[in-house]
Amino acid sequence: MHELRREQPVEPERVRIGYVGGGSRSWAATLMNDLAQCTDLAGEVVLYDVDHESARANAELGEWIQSHDDAVGDWSYEVVESLAAALSGADFVICSTQDPPAETMAKDLELPAEYGIHQTVGDTVGPGGTMRAMRAVPQYREIAATVREECPDAWVINYTNPMTVCTRTLYAEYPDINAVGLCHEVFKVQELFADLVEDHVKGAEDVSREEIDVTVKGVNHFTWVDEAHWRDRDLYGLLETWLDARKPVPRFDSGELSEASYFVNHRDVTQDLYRQFEILPAAGDRHLVEFVPWYLSVDEPEEVHRWGIRRTPSEYRVDHWGEGEHERRDYLEGDDPFEFTESGEEAVDWMRALRGLEPLKTHANYPNVGQCPDLAEGAVVETNVLVDGGGVTPQTAGSFPPELRTVLTTHVTNQETIVEAGMEGDVDRAYRAFLNDPLVTIDTADARELFSRLIEAEREYLDDWDLKASRILPEGPTPAVADD
């Protein structure tokens, strides 16, 4: 990340940011933290959210953050009541949206568990990922259509999961859109290599992840790295040193991590997948296990502890939603000042680069124009990109081992299928992607029943899908009425 604080601020370039999901309970504060420390961009952030009061609270939070002496950036915050008003004339559009977890994500986790399908996250693939995608496609079609009408040249920066489906939907609705999806998962593997450099390269001290160049390829939360360099030094060979120092996996007992953080990651799955495919996974273990059936095919949910991870339960998702509101209120009602941090997120870096202020080399989710030659053209893939005032230039990532390519292709096909189904409101086609997911290892009758129960439980969020025409759902299609 570039150095946000500058001793001699330049005259800032003014921009307008439309924030969709402006009532965000967590990520909004991160963006405000970063904007308040940026001196060469300035302007206004226009917040829109279906939860208008939450957006209003974030506007108050943003202005409060700006009131601090350490807030060297010049930003104002405004709340509007329509998506069109938020995006009108925007230079950038930020998306970070989520439906209420108690009504959606809790069901995504709890109902599959009744059928023995235990998900560690449930927001990208698996039954939970499918349902979240079905809810997201209509929303992101509306966002893309509004961009087309209100700010056709704006850059859309998406942070919402399922990252691939949301970003792909923006392009499906508005093919000329400028949009990317950003995720910080790969930063962790850069940190791993930075630690290896410090431990094994003589004279290397205080190596940051930004100094590590990796070749990233795959789809979001199932990314892989087959090259890593620090300066002119090839680091990939250090992985064998790292693995030799580790115990064989699995190395925990079932239930052993019951007191650990829900987000614990011992990289045991990473270790095992590297040994299986001879290429390094670049996402966290909790996400990786949802793309393959091997680690989550368990009789009891605590068995996943054997691989050094825990499931994030539905009650945490529900409680965390409220905790974000409490934290925001504590900021505004308390006496403690806001503590500015280096967040590690890159939204501000992207905006600066796209305005021609400072080029950026990073990774992003972007349509495949050949950077992943093994995967479908047009599908959203995650690879390295170069970003500057001319836009985004994807970097060629090369091929995958054939066995891994097969796994990836299944997920790309499912994601493309869900987007295409969403464009037509075709529930039965979305079901085929659901059934084809590697985590759905139950028989077809149970799979159909589970899918139908999920649809019924979240029906109010699926208005844009043609539920009456479905042959999969129990009620079946509505019979046609013959003309007299």
Residues 291 and 363 in one domain: yes
Confidence of residue 150 (pLDDT cuts 50, 70, 90): very high
Q: Tell me which residue range forms the domain holding 142.
A: 13-103+124-182+320-346
DSSP states of 355-418: TTSS-EEEEEEEE-SSSSTTS-TTSEEEEEEEEETTEEEE-------HHHHHHHHHHHHHHHHH
Confidence of residue 1 (pLDDT cuts 50, 70, 90): very low
3 pLDDT more than 50: no
What is the share, in percent, of the chain residues with pLDDT greater than 70?
Answer: 96
Residues 255 and 156 in one domain: no
Residues 222 and 306 in one domain: yes
Residues 137 and 240 in one domain: no
Residues 358 and 295 in one domain: yes
Answer yes or no: are the C-beta atoms of 106 and 310 closer than 8 Å: no
Confidence of residue 321 (pLDDT cuts 50, 70, 90): confident
The verdict on residue 393 lying in a domain is yes
In sequence order, the 6+-apart residues with CB closer than 8 A to the CB of 11 are none
**Radius of gyration from C-alpha coordinates of the chain:** 23
- Percentages helix, strand, coil for the chain (3-state, rounded to 5) are 45, 15, 40
> Which entry of 2, 52, 68, 184 is annotated as an active-site residue?
184
In sequence order, the 6+-apart residues with CB closer than 8 A to the CB of 441 are 117, 293, 297
478 pLDDT more than 80: no
Specify the length of the chain in residues.
484
pLDDT at 476: 67
DSSP character at residue 300 = S
Residue 266 appears among annotated catalytic residues: no
Which candidate, 372, 392, 390, 391, places its Cα nearest to that of 380?
372
The verdict on residue 377 lying in a domain is yes
* Cα torsion through 394, 357, 178, 97, rounded to 10: 100
3-state secondary structure of 15: strand
What is the share, in percent, of the chain residues with pLDDT greater than 90?
Answer: 91
DSSP states of 301-316: GGGGGGGT-----HHH
Q: Kindly report the pTM of this predicted structure.
A: 0.95
Distance of CA 448 to the CA centre of its chain: 28
483 pLDDT more than 60: no
> Tens digits of per-residue pLDDT, 393-417?
999 999 999 999 999 999 999 999 9
5 pLDDT more than 50: no
Confidence of residue 2 (pLDDT cuts 50, 70, 90): very low
Which candidate, 463, 392, 350, 422, places its Cα nearest to that of 144?
422
Number of domains in the chain: 2
Residues 35 and 132 in one domain: yes
Residues 227 and 330 in one domain: no
Name the residue with tokens 């930020």. Answer: 94
Confidence of residue 51 (pLDDT cuts 50, 70, 90): very high
pLDDT at 323: 83
Which candidate, 99, 75, 122, 81, places its Cα nearest to that of 25?
99
Domain harbouring 259, CATH code: 3.90.1820.10
26 pLDDT more than 90: no
The verdict on residue 477 lying in a domain is no
Residues 342 and 377 in one domain: no
Q: What is the mean pLDDT of residues 231-252?
A: 96
Q: What is the mean pLDDT of residues 431-441?
A: 98
Residues 418 and 433 in one domain: yes
The verdict on residue 99 lying in a domain is yes
Residues 148 and 198 in one domain: no
The verdict on residue 387 lying in a domain is yes
Confidence of residue 329 (pLDDT cuts 50, 70, 90): confident
26 CB burial (10 A radius; 0-12, 13-18, 19+): middle
